[in-house]
A and B are shown apart, each in its own frame.
Chain A
Amino acid sequence: MLQKFFKILLLILLLQLPTRSNAQSLAAGDTSAEDMVISYNIEIKTGLNRTSIAETYNGGNKTVFISKNKTRIRLLSLMRIESLFFLPGADSTIHIYQEKESAAKANPRKVSLSNWQKLNLKYDSAYYKPVAGESKKILGYNCKKAIIYLKDGRTITVYYTEAIKPLRAICEPAFASLPGLALEYTYNYKSGSSTYTATSIKREMINPDIFLLKGKQPSHLRL
């Protein structure tokens, strides 16, 4: 009887072993898989009771697609669908394209490096300070709390994990100083705030169409 019980227990343990090892490898920041998709949920708080334009972004989604040397950051909301493409050029430089997809005619425009730097000037010489003793688990990753200080006095509260490599500095200049990937960040402004929280991290092959400008768009939405 006891032997039978141990046999069943062993069988259960054997069945669970692959999933456990998979989780461990993800947690340990396995970099063998080159493709990764990170989804963030966007929560906007205005501090007001009335409905405003903020609600058209509240519940939106920010998705980061990473495949080899290509990166795409897509903002998805009721109001706007927009993407930033960071694609390798022939001369081993990175080409940046901005595309507003929620339009009658999607028109990607190339963003020159100087313009990109100008756009992110506020993050120049930004630095972070870890908040000792404050951490939380997001999607199974231990995340440390830190505050990013911008030179103009604005701050971003961030939870980051060192288990996953951060994005290239050019893709997310706000978090360039962090030693890991930001899984949650909050920006407080006046009476409101915006919080981006990671809802999923997938290490899987990404459909190459994702990195195409004016790529395939669904003709129908599912509600």
Chain B
Amino acid sequence: MPDSQNDIFKRLSQHEEKPPEFLFEKILGEVRHGPKENGWHDLKEHSLIPPPELYKHIRQKWMQERSQKRSPVFFIRKYRAIAAILLAGMLSVAIYLLFPAKRTAEPLAEKKPVPAGQSINSVQKPDSATFNANTDSTAKQVNTKKRSTPALQSSGTQEIPFVNNDLLSSLMECTNCNFAAYFMEKKRIILDIDQYSAVTVSDKMRLFMKALYTTNRRGKSTHKSRKTKRILVRWQKADAAYFDNESSRTALDPLDLTEFLINNNKK
């Protein structure tokens, strides 16, 4: 019995039957001309709803990638700033080295201001005995009254260091003093020395010295300012050459002084 069953299956496995001709042609025609329109239309309207976790997952992934991308950008910016600082530093060093003449403009460096509170007090007695006695006897009668002459009153708004007891040098050397404002004003400038004396800066001199304090946009002295300073230094030298160490004339003599000033009237 089993042998007969096996035979049937064997025969069945080897059995083949050709489909009918019309069926073959029908299938071939459908393949060649495509499926019917109704079939695509169904596909178009077909939609699938993604699972809700998928969106969150995509967003998280995207954020992660974005943050990873931004960090190198920040890094570049930081380097750019450092590079800019370095460049500026190098530029300033180059300017400093290229223009040394502007730094060492005028030769008055050796003069140092008298520090506040310190006074030149090494008294040399001209004639020790008599002079000392005279001074001691009158020492108690020190007058500390303020001057009251209206013409010589000071505004008293600014104090400047008195460099070597030299008024002109004091005005020239005081770099941190805001003189520009004083010299711009059409006002008399009076320099108080002590209770007895004061010096008035003439209008012409005020206008001339105004240029001394002019600065450019970077706060540096201008060409005109440096020129004014050079002229003042030249005047100082001319004055010293004429009167100092000269026994035949003195600035205290009105005739000697006037003749010197009128004869040296070049700028």
Contact = CB atoms under 8 A, between A and B. Distances in A.
A122 B249 CA distance: 11
Given A54-B262, A61-B199, A103-B165, A199 B149 contact: yes
B227 to A, nearest CB: 13
Nearest to A85: B126
A76 to B, nearest CB: 5
Contacts of B265: 46, 48, 50, 52-54, 192
Interface in B216-259: 235-236, 238-239, 243-244, 247-255, 257-259
A88 B127 contact: yes
A185 interface: yes
B116 A219 contact: yes
Contacts of B202: 55, 58-59
B176 interface: no
A222 B158 contact: yes
A170 B195 CA distance: 26
A93 B158 CA distance: 44
B214 interface: no
A76 B199 contact: yes
B255 A90 contact: no
Interface in A82-103: 82-85, 87-90, 95, 97-98, 100-103
Given A219-B114, A219-B115, A78 B167 contact: yes
A131 interface: no
A51 B259 contact: no
A70 to B, nearest CB: 7
A218 interface: yes
A39 interface: yes
Contact of A185 (B197, B254, B263): B254
A135 interface: no
Contacts of A48: 265
Interface stretch (A1-9, A12-20, A24-32, A203-211): A203-211
Nearest to B169: A102
B10 to A, nearest CB: 133
B207 to A, nearest CB: 7
Interface residues of B, number: 94
A75 B194 CA distance: 13
A41 B167 contact: no
Interface centre among A75, A78, A209 (most CB of B within 10 A): A78
B111 to A, nearest CB: 6
A222 B190 CA distance: 8
Interface in B176-218: 179, 182, 189-202, 204-205, 207-208
B12 interface: no
A217 B254 contact: no
B177 to A, nearest CB: 8
Interface centre among B164, B199, B208, B236 (most CB of A within 10 A): B199
B143 A204 contact: yes
Contacts of A191: 262
Contacts of A185: 254
Contacts of A194: 254, 257-258, 261
A221 B193 contact: yes
Contacts of B207: 51
Given A90-B130, A95-B126, A102-B166, A84 B252 contact: yes
Contacts of A50: 265, 267
A58 B135 CA distance: 34
Contact of B142 (A77, A90, A207): A207
A21 interface: no
Contacts of B124: 108, 213-214
Contacts of A223: 154-155, 157-160, 179, 182, 189-192
B248 A119 contact: yes
A118 B249 CA distance: 9
Contact of A39 (B141, B149, B158, B166): B149
Nearest to B149: A200
A144 interface: no
Interface string A107-151: 010110001001110100000000000000000000000000000
Interface of A: 37, 39, 41, 44, 46, 48, 50-63, 65, 67-68, 70, 73-85, 87-90, 95, 97-98, 100-104, 106, 108, 110-111, 115, 118-120, 122, 154, 156, 174, 185, 187, 189-194, 196, 199-200, 202, 204-223
| 10 closest cross-chain pairs (CB), A and B | A59-B200, A54-B261, A55-B205, A194-B258, A102-B166, A222-B192, A205-B141, A192-B262, A52-B265, A58-B202
